[in-house]
Every structure is written in structure tokens, then in C-alpha cells.
Structure 1
Amino acid sequence: MTWLDDHGHGSKKPRPENEIATKEYDIARFEEIKSAYLKALERRGQAA
């Protein structure tokens, strides 16, 4: 079973608030890392 099977639409269990907050935090960190990576690639391209 997946997380959505357990907590998605139509499930018998409510979606845990702390898991939602954790996932939002993880997504925010990913976006920061992605942004820094893209900036580094851009700088690398300008240096070449």
C-alpha cells in the first residue's frame, strides 16, 4: 500500500497533519536545492 492508499480520498484514516507538514518542508528544501543547482549550471555555462 502507498501513502495515498492509506490517507488519500476515500480512505478510512485521516491524513496526518504532521506528515503533510513534513512533505511541504521536503518540497520547499527540494525547490531551494534545485534553484541553487540551476544557478550553478548557468554560471558554469557562462564560464565556458
Structure 2
Amino acid sequence: MTRRRSLTSSLSTPLARWGFTTLAIFGAATGQYTPALITGALATYAWNTRR
């Protein structure tokens, strides 16, 4: 039987933390502020759910 991963456990991986942070920075640097805000919020959540 496969184990289901929750959103919290998926966001606690280093790839999620650094990936969303990079996307937020890249979005802000290219002037796409709405996607930068959304990915910034996801990055903040990912960094705060660290184990």
C-alpha cells in the first residue's frame, strides 16, 4: 500500500523551500509581482513548516 503525503510534508523538503524562494525572487526580478507574491507566500509557508 502506498503512503499518502500531505501538503505539509511535501512542502518541508529542501527542493520546495529553495524552489519556491527562487521562483519568488525570479518573479520579482522580472516584474511579475502577482506570481512573486503567491510563490513568496508558498516559500514562507515552506520555510516555516521545516522539521
Normalised to the residue count of structure 1, the TM-score between the two structures is: 0.42
Pair member with larger Rg: 1
